Amino acid sequence: MRSRSYSYWLINGILFGLSGCAGSQQWMSNQIENRPTAPQTAQTSYFADQAEAPGNARYLTVGKAVLPQLAQTPVEQKIPADPLRPAKSIKSNWGQSSINLDHTQSNVMEIQPVGHRDPAEPESSITEDATLTINGQIYRLERIEKAQLPEDEKSESEFRQQIQLVGKKAHVKTAAQTIPATAPLPLEVTEGSQLELTGHSKTSSANYMQMNLPTALSMVSGQHPAVGFAQWRVQEAYAQLDRANVLWLPSIQPGFSFDNHDGNYQASNGAIVDVNRNSFQFGLGSGATGAGTTPRPGIVAQFHMADALFQPEIAEKTAWARGHAANGVVNEQLLRVSLSYLNLLEAEQDLRIVLESRERTLGLSKLTEDFAATGQGLQADADRLQTELQLIENRVAMAQEKVDVASARLAEALSLDACQQIVPMDVTVLPIDLVSLETEKCCLISTGLSNRPELKEAQALVAAANEQYKRQKYAPFVPSILLGFSTSGFGGGPGNSIKNIDNRLDFDALLSWEVRNLGFGEGAARREQESRYQQAKFSKVRVLDQVAREVSEAHSQVLHRAGRIRITQKAIESAQNSYERNLSRIRDGQGLPLEVLQSVRALEDARRAYLEAVIEYNEAQFQLQWALGWPIHAPYNT
C-alpha cells in the first residue's frame, strides 16, 4: 500500500532533515566553530555545591534513555548516480505503515502496522518514486523490484484523473459507482477533492510550493530570522569575551597637541604672573604643557585588576549561556515548523474528507430525486438532501479557509514568501513513532534534563552570577592600575614662537585601591550581587522542574493519543460497515436513500476523529522530542 512507502520516506526524511541538513546539522551536533562546550552537571563539581535539591533532581542520576543508531537491512533502495557524487545504496525497512524508533535498545527498529485498510480491498504495490533532500542535494528513491498488477486488476481499476504536483503527475484511483465508496485509510483523493485541490492551478504554478516535512525541517537554518538573531547574539557574546581577555593589554594613542596661553598664570610658588607662551607636542603622547607629565600617554594600560581577573570568566559563562540559548531557539523553531506543517496537513486531509462526503451526499441526492420522480419517495426527502448539500458546501469553504491559514502560518514559521501557497507532498497521514511507548518516563526525564539547552543555559547563568559575586567580593583588595609611556617631540616658547623642539620621554605607573563609601558601599554591592546569584540558582531549579513537567506531559499525551488511534480505527470499521449495509439495502429496494445520510455523517465524523487522533499523536511525538532536546541521530552515514 502507499502507506508503507510514505511511512519509510517520512521517518527517514525527518531524520535527514534534523541531522543531515546543512542548516541544522551543526546545531544538533554541538560542533559550532569557536564555541567552547559548557560543563555538564556530571562532568564537574563546580556547580555541585551551587545547585539546590528539588524533587526532580533525583532524575539527574537515573539512567538516560538509549538513543539508537538505526540498523536497517531488509530492502535495498537504489539512488541514481550523480555526476558530482559517487553512487550510494541505502538499506532500509520497507513495507509497514509505521516505524517505531525504540529508545531503550540499541540498533533496534521496530515496525508496527497502524494504518486502517479495508479487508475486502487487495493490497496494491508501490509504483511511485519519491525524493529526499540531503545537504542541499536532491535524491530520487526508487524500488529495485516493482510489483506489477495482474491484468484483471488493471481492468477493474479506473484512473480517470491526474493531480499536478509541481512537475510530477500522480494517478489517483476513484470508485466507479453512483455513490462513491469509502476509501480505506490512509485517505486517498477522490474526484470531488481533486476538483478543489487543483483549483489553485487557475493561477500561475509559481505561486505554489511543494514541500514535505523533512524539507521544512531542513530549512530551519542560520538564514531564518529567529535563528540568525540568536546566532549573532552568540557572536556578540564571544566578541565581549575576546575584549575581556585583552583588557590588560595597553592601548596606543598617537597624536599632537598645541597650547597657547596669554594672561595671568599661577606659578608653583603661588605667585600670579602675566605670561604669554605656547607649547607643542607630537608623537606617542599629547597634551603636555609646561611642567608635569604627559596627560595623554602614547601607550597606556588602565584597568581594575578585579576586572582583568574575573571579567573573562564572566564573559565566558555568558557566552556559554548565549550558545545554549541559540540551540534552544533552533529546537523551538524545529518544533514550531513541525506543528505548523502538521496543521497544514490536517487541514488538507480534512478538506479531502469533506469533499468525499460531498460526493457521497451528492449521489444520495440524485437517487432521492429519482425516487421522488417515480413516486417511490417523497419530495421532502429530496429537499432535505439539497439542504444537506448546502451545509456540506459551507464545510468545504471552512476547510479551504483552514488550508490557506495553515499555509500562511507555515510560511511565517519558515520565513517564506507569504504569497506562495504551500502544498504538502504527503498524500496520507500516518502515526510517526519517534519515541517508543515502552520507554519508562523516568528515563525520558533524565534524557531531557541532560539534553535540554534551556537547562544548560540556566546552569551557565548561575556560573556567570557566581563569578560576578566573586568580582565584587575581592574588588577592595586588588588595585586599579595605570601604566603610561610616552615618547614624542616637544617644544614651545614665549609669545607666539615655537622653538627648542626636542625628544621627550615620560613613563608613569600608578596603583590605587578603593573602598567604596567607607566600606558600606562594598557590603551593599556584595549583597546585591549575591541576590542575583540566588535568583539565578532558583531560576535554574524552575527550569529543571519545567523540563521534567514537559517531558512527563508529552509522554502522557503520546500514550493516551495512541489509544485514541486504535479506538477511532474501530469506529471507522463500524461506520464503513454501516454505510455499506445501508447502501446494499437501497440497491435491493428495501429502503430509501435518505436512510443512508446518517451513515454518511457517521463515516465522515469517524474519519475526522481518526485524522485528529493521528495528527495530535504526531504533535505529541514532536512535543516529546522537543522536551527531550531533539536527541535524534542520522539513520545512516552519508
Q: Which three cell numbers stand for residue 105?
A: 535498545
Asked if the bond preceding 312 is cis, omega within 30° of 0, the reply is no
End-to-end CA distance of the chain: 28
pLDDT for 583 equals 77
pLDDT for 366 equals 78
pLDDT for 349 equals 92
What domains are defined for the chain?
A: 2-238+314-460+535-627 (1.20.1600.10), 246-313+476-518 (no CATH)
433 Cβ partners below 8 Å, 6+ apart?
98, 99, 100, 101, 112, 621
Burial class (CB in 10 A: 0-12, 13-18, 19+), 462: buried
Strands (E), 15-166: 75-78, 89-92, 99-101, 109-111, 130-134, 137-143, 162-164
Write out pLDDT tens, residues 149-197.
344 433 333 333 332 333 333 333 333 333 333 333 333 333 333 333 3
Nearest to 360 by CA among 593, 541, 196: 593
Concatenated DSSP letters of 276-288 = EEEEEEEEEEE--
Q: What is the CA radius of gyration of the chain?
A: 37
Specify the DSSP class assigned to residue 219.
T
* CB 219 within 8 Å of CB 262: no
Q: What is the 3-state secondary structure (H, E, C) of 424-478?
A: ECCCCCCCCECCCCCCCHHHHHHHHHHHCHHHHHHHHHHHHHHHHHHHHHHHHHC
At residue 142, the 3 state secondary structure works out as strand
Q: Which three cell numbers stand for residue 148?
A: 506489477
490 Cβ partners below 8 Å, 6+ apart?
279, 280, 281, 288, 501, 502, 503, 504
pLDDT for 63 equals 62
For the chain, list residues with pLDDT below 50: 1-2, 4, 19-52, 67-135, 139-204, 634-638
Specify the DSSP class assigned to residue 66.
P
d(CA 553, CA 619): 12
Nearest to 481 by CA among 303, 310, 311: 303
pTM above the 0.75 mark? no
**Measured at the alpha carbon of residue 396, what is the angle toward residues 392 and 398, in degrees to the nearest 5?**
115
Angle between helices 597-627 and 305-374 in degrees, nearest 10: 170
pLDDT for 405 equals 94
pLDDT for 60 equals 66
d(CA 403, CA 638): 35
pLDDT for 89 equals 34
d(CA 283, CA 221): 50
Write out pLDDT tens, residues 233-289.
999 999 999 999 999 999 999 999 998 888 888 887 888 888 888 888 899 999 888
Nearest to 291 by CA among 262, 263, 259: 259
pLDDT for 15 equals 53
pLDDT for 638 equals 39
At residue 508, the 3 state secondary structure works out as strand
> What phi, psi does 549 have (nearest 5°)?
-65, -40
pLDDT for 154 equals 37
Residue 498, amino acid: I
Neighbours of 84 (CB within 10 A): 6
The runs of H, that is alpha helices, within 253-304 are none
